[in-house]
Amino acid sequence: MTDAEQSQKARRDEDGARDGGRLLAGRYRLGGVLGRGGMGTVWRAEDETLGRTVAVKELRFPSSIDEEEKRRLITRTLREAKAIARIRSNGAVTVYDVVDEDDRPWIVMELIEGKSLAEVIREDGTLSPRRAAEVGLAILGVLRAAHREGILHRDVKPSNVLIEGDDGRVVLTDFGIAQVEGDPSITSTGMLVGAPSYISPERARGHKPGPAADLWSLGGLLYASVEGIPPYDKGSAIATLTAVMTEPLDPPKNAGPLSEVIYGLLAKDPAQRLDEAGARALLREVIATEEAGAGRAADATKVVPLPKPADGGARESRPKLERTPRAAGAPKAAAAATA
């Protein structure tokens, strides 16, 4: 465990010792701390009215901020809850309630048991092109639903994607910096929000983003899923954003059939970028191609059942094998098994 991880664990333990067992709104009993960030804490809690386990996101104010900044953070938190509530997708977290306690909002939502994609990559290794395509297709579904509601996520990255443990369900989280079309609470402050490695070139240049900006971020996520590193990371925010705007992409080494999708989504010009329909078609093609390849490998050698010998006839001394020509892309080991 790194020093940063140990520090985060210590803060979670401190939070749990202080507020664990607290009852919110007469029904949500706080349990252990699931996660903690600079502006909030996520709790496991029990809904004592409905008898179900939920997640509760608590907004926390840094001690150094003024009242205006507090109001801005409250607005951002409420905007996140409203944005998620408008999205109809299996890949979006369900918001159950918003509670006002201690003059700040607490978001009560569906509890997702699993790891973030960032944790999966770090702890279990990179994804295969097929699995990355499955994850990408699920995220694309959430983005499509969000964009239909006029919502831009603006922070698509591996740490904001959860992989549920039981069935591998993919969930896009953290709409805290989402931009909602027509929302008067959105103001132009000149501040660029989001992870620099996953910010699109047009956003880095200060241009007004559209849905294509989220698709660029998805391309960066797919790149990181198969390569283990983001497409652009120069050590500092300024250097990384400059590279995003000006430097060509380092060719992915492990993407295989996913390369076309990655290059299409990471086109610097949003007008030339792969759109949602094109990305969906190519991701499905990657999944189908990988499935077909696995099927061909399994069928590369077939054993033909022996015919029953005629009465009094002699049995064949050894079984006969039917050799099926190896299709392009099938593993050599499967072909060698027929020799």
Mean pLDDT, the chain, rounded, equals 82
Domain boundaries, the chain: 24-110, 114-293
Q: What is the pLDDT of residues 110-129, one digit of tens each?
A: 999 999 999 999 999 999 99
Q: What is the pLDDT of residues 139-183, one digit of tens each?
A: 999 999 999 988 899 899 999 999 998 789 999 988 766 666 555
What is the three-state SS of the chain?
A: CCHHHHHHHHHHHHHHHHHCCCEECCCEEEEEEEEECCCEEEEEEEECCCCEEEEEEEECCCCCCCHHHHHHHHHHHHHHHHHHHHCCCCCECCEEEEEEECCEEEEEEECCCEEEHHHHHHHHCCCCHHHHHHHHHHHHHHHHHHHHCCEECCCCCHHHEEEECCCCCEEECCCCCCEECCCCCCCCCCCCCCCHHHCCHHHHCCCCCCHHHHHHHHHHHHHHHHHCCCCCCCCCHHHHHHHHHHCCCCCCCCCHHHHHHHHHHCCCCCCCCCCHHHHHHHHHHHHHHHHHHHHHHHCCEEECCCCCCCCCCCCCCCCCEEECCCCCCCCHHHHHCCC
CATH number of 24-110, picked from 2.60.120.200, 3.30.1520.10, 3.40.190.10, 3.30.200.20: 3.30.200.20
What confidence tier does 80 reach under pLDDT thresholds 50, 70, 90? confident
pTM for the whole structure: 0.77
How large is the average pLDDT for residues 82-103?
91
The domain 114-293 belongs to what CATH superfamily? Transferase(Phosphotransferase) domain 1 (1.10.510.10)
Catalytic annotation present for 155: yes
Q: What is the pLDDT of residues 169-226, one digit of tens each?
A: 999 988 766 666 555 444 444 556 788 999 999 999 999 999 999 999 999 999 999 9
Q: Name the active-site residue from 19, 103, 124, 155.
A: 155
